[in-house]
Structure 1
Amino acid sequence: MTYEQATNYLFTRLPMFSRIGAAAYKKDLSNTIRLCAYLDDPHNKIKTIHIAGTNGKGSTSHMLAAVLQTAGYKTGLYTSPHLRDFRERFRVNGEMIDKQYVVDFVERIQPAIDEIEPSFFEITVAMAFDYFVREQVEIAVIETGLGGRLDSTNVITPEVSVITNIGWDHMNLLGDTLPAIAFEKAGIIKQQVPVVIGETAAETREVFEKVAVEKQAPLFFADQQRYVAEWKYEHHQLLMQVSPAGSGERTTYQLDLPGYYQIKNCITVLEVVHHLQKAGYKITDAHVHQALKQVKKLTGLHGRWEVIHANPVVVLDVGHNEDGIKQITAQIELSDHQHLHIVIGLVKDKEIEKVLALLPKEATYYFTRAQIPRALPETELAARAQAIGLNGHTYSDVNTALKQAMSKADKRDLIVVCGSVFVVGEVSL
């Protein structure tokens, strides 16, 4: 079996949420438990940090991995979905999984796949645990796929549990109120394991407090421990001054992830690092400063207000739900530009009208779609957008749309590609 044959088998043989949506979502952990048992329970042989949340969990995972590997720990990182290469999901010290390992794993796991009939995500979770054990990682950062309580990753007992925030996404699967969504995310809270919540919200705080008490888990709200006293965005870098709550002291951090929304994620990371230090991890302030300056280089993170072209500036951002689009529009307002061009594609199971209502009416739009079954047809997207005053043309693929935007844009304009991880992932510029 070649690498191409192995990945084609995974993509076509197994239900894949990113392609078909809710039909691929398995509402219990039994398949993952059986797969891990087949592999001799690798998830019990590694130390982990578990990260859930509506937005920011990918950035937070990469920042923490960067800090840990800068501090000298051999660090695993499991995230999803991938942008361009399947192997992006599995990294050790920033390096993607070896192609031959993928082939060997698929050949080894095929009997279990035939018997258990797991989803694509369940297999990738088992692959991650198995790979990290084989690579003898000292700690692995594990990002949930969807929700928390019933997410396939939720078979681990981590050093720290992390929930970045709660917002509106996947309501068809997680619940149609913020407390209901929070309850699903709170499912990653484990017995006596410290839990860090990134953002305090009146609607969800009680949910976390109740679960934490039941699990005897020490609970910490990151934004109650520290705050950003001052920040600025320059040269595609974020500079921020952070103060402990109740103190006038300030520490300056430079972050190579320029979206202003990374401020919240950075505060979450600093709180998690504090608990790792208390647990005996040898992480210094110098390690944190050094890591945050080069998260992208250390971990391969892409698609978070990522500038890929100048004159005109072209930015890729994977923000795709209500909160994610709010963050993108706020970042647009901070950006110096003449005219705004937005290349956008959405998937069918999002709150389409709510997302579109957040977008600026003065922009020129290029409606497109990712090449997956879940994608909303560009003609339907354009019709729904035009009904609320967003005007533009339709394009059958993102690269055609982007080329058209670049041909129309002045050198002082801003082009933003957003709406779906899959649209961003297909950009070939």
Structure 2
Amino acid sequence: MTYEQTVDYLFTRLPLFSRIGAAAYKENLDNTLALCASLDNPEKQFRSIHIAGTNGKGSVSHMLAAILQEAGYKTGLYTSPHLRDFRERIRINGEMINRDFVVDFTEKIKPLIDRLEPSFFEITVAMAFDYFSSQQTDIAVIETGLGGRLDSTNVITPELSVITNIGWDHMNLLGNTLEKIAAEKAGIIKKNIPVVVGEVLPETIAVFEQKAAGLAAPLSIASEKRQALDWKWTEHHQLQIEVAEQHKTDHQVYRLDLPGLYQTRNLLTVLEACAQLREKGWSITDNHIRTALQKVKKTTGLHGRWEMLQQHPHVIADVAHNEAGLLMLVEQLELTDYKNLHIVLGMVKDKEVEKALAVLPVHARYYFTQAHLPRALEAAQLAALGKARGLQGNTYSSVQEALDAAKQNANPEDLILICGSVFLVGELY
């Protein structure tokens, strides 16, 4: 098979969550374990960091990968979903996986694929582990796809487990209370392996404490160790954050090329993760951290985090797609100067769409659209749900058509925000 044929096979022949939703979710690790066993357990051949959470896990994963690479380590990075290119999911030192490896790997295990009928995600996890092992990475940052306990990535024994936060998402699969969702995410906690939790809620703190205590896993809460005292946007569109650390009088200042204000929370998680890695002997200096954070996008290829695509009018893309993520965007909008607000919005069917719409500003002009995948919520249905909550606008058949209309209607002092779905934002690149 050619590379194009291979990717088409992976996308069309295998259950794919981004295409069909919950039907692709497997409630056990059997397939992943079988795939890894057939490959001589590559997941045991490299060290790793495991990252879960409702929001922020992508940003935290990319920041940590950039820092480890800056510190001189050959660093793997596995994330999902991709925006445009399948190979974005699997990187080493920022470089996407080799096309030939994708083809050779798929052909090598095709008999097992035919027998096990694994999901797309299970195959890509095994591919990533085999790639990181074959390329002799020093460490790999592994982002969960969904949940934690039953996520296909949860066959590794990492150096460190990280859980960014807990919010409402995928309740049909993870549970209908924050405690149940937290318990699923806490499934990545391993015996005697330190765990960093970015933020906790009254409903979730006991879940993490009990799970960590039961496994003798040292637990640290990032938001209790450090505090963001002040922030500002620099003239180069970077986010500058002043951080105070518990029991220390000196404050540290960091600059991020990820200008979303919500990155202040992610930064605290990253800093505590680095502190835990240092305790385990990883050579990460303050200078490594500062330097890496200023070039995360360049180093790792991260896109779609309050990313400015154009000025006059400002066009900003963000992959926020659930209630908590969109609420953070609204907080940022309240601190951003603009004359009129235009929002290009598209979502997927299996999200808590009505809860998400409830936090969006009614004063904006909306351009309801949809990504080109079966899971996408039809633009007309999204518009009807939005109208019921006071969100006014028209429908468009594609994100590009919606964006073109927004640009036509916008003044140079206006702001156009594209959000609501990773897949929608992906069609911009």
TM-score (norm 2): 0.99
Secondary structure of the 1:202 match is coil
Displacement of 1:249? 1.7
Partner amino acid for 2:416?
A: I
- Specify the alignment match of 2:373 in structure 1: 372
- 1:133-212 matches, within 5 Å, as 133-212=133-212
Secondary structure of the 2:154 match is coil
Secondary structure of the 1:182 match is helix
Secondary structure of the 1:282 match is coil
- Specify the alignment match of 2:297 in structure 1: 296
Displacement of 1:13? 0.7
Secondary structure of the 1:203 match is coil
- Specify the alignment match of 1:129 in structure 2: 129
Displacement of 1:200? 2.2
Asked if the contact 1:55/1:167 (under 8 Å) is kept, the reply is yes
Secondary structure of the 1:240 match is strand
Partners of 2:47 and 2:389 in 1: how far apart?
49
Partners of 1:162 and 1:371 in 2: how far apart?
33
Secondary structure of the 2:203 match is helix
Displacement of 1:332? 1.1
Displacement of 1:61? 0.1
Q: Which runs of 5+ in 1 are unaligned?
A: none
Deviates more, 1:240-249 or 1:293-302: 240-249
CA shift digits 1:159-207 (9 cap, x unpaired)? 0000000000000000000000000000000000000000021110000
Secondary structure of the 2:80 match is coil
Percent identity, aligned pairs only?
A: 62
- Specify the alignment match of 2:411 in structure 1: 410
Displacement of 1:354? 0.9
Asked if the contact 2:53/2:165 (under 8 Å) is kept, the reply is yes
- 1:270-285 matches, within 5 Å, as 270-285=271-286
Secondary structure of the 1:146 match is coil
Secondary structure of the 1:350 match is coil
Partners of 2:222 and 2:315 in 1: how far apart?
33
Partners of 1:42 and 1:126 in 2: how far apart?
8
Displacement of 1:353? 1.1
Deviates more, 1:57-66 or 1:333-342: 333-342
Secondary structure of the 1:334 match is coil
Partners of 2:277 and 2:268 in 1: how far apart?
15
- Specify the alignment match of 1:318 in structure 2: 319
CA shift digits 1:203-249 (9 cap, x unpaired)? 10000000001111000000111111111123321101111124332
Partners of 1:147 and 1:109 in 2: how far apart?
26
- 1:352-391 matches, within 5 Å, as 352-391=353-392
Partners of 1:420 and 1:313 in 2: how far apart?
19
- Specify the alignment match of 1:12 in structure 2: 12
Partner amino acid for 1:63?
A: M
- Specify the alignment match of 2:53 in structure 1: 53
Partner amino acid for 2:330?
A: T
Secondary structure of the 2:11 match is helix
Partners of 1:335 and 1:256 in 2: how far apart?
17
CA shift digits 1:8-28 (9 cap, x unpaired)? 000011000011100000010
Asked if the contact 1:19/1:372 (under 8 Å) is kept, the reply is yes
CA shift digits 1:20-70 (9 cap, x unpaired)? 100000010000000001111000111000000000000000000000000
Partners of 2:303 and 2:55 in 1: how far apart?
15
Partners of 1:339 and 1:183 in 2: how far apart?
42
Asked if the contact 2:166/2:200 (under 8 Å) is kept, the reply is no
Partners of 2:377 and 2:14 in 1: how far apart?
22
CA shift digits 1:131-166 (9 cap, x unpaired)? 001111000000000000000000000000000000
Displacement of 1:333? 1.2
CA shift digits 1:294-324 (9 cap, x unpaired)? 0000000000001011110000100000101
- Specify the alignment match of 2:266 in structure 1: 265
- Specify the alignment match of 1:90 in structure 2: 90
TM-score (norm 1): 0.99
- Specify the alignment match of 1:72 in structure 2: 72
Partner amino acid for 2:160?
A: V
Displacement of 1:352? 1.2
Secondary structure of the 2:168 match is coil
Partners of 1:60 and 1:412 in 2: how far apart?
32
Secondary structure of the 1:180 match is helix
Partners of 1:72 and 1:216 in 2: how far apart?
31
Partners of 1:169 and 1:245 in 2: how far apart?
32
Asked if the contact 2:32/2:126 (under 8 Å) is kept, the reply is yes
Partner amino acid for 1:86?
A: F
Query: How many equivalent pairs are there?
Result: 428
User: Is the counterpart of residue 309 in structure 1 residue 323 in structure 2?
Assistant: no
Asked if the contact 1:233/1:260 (under 8 Å) is kept, the reply is no
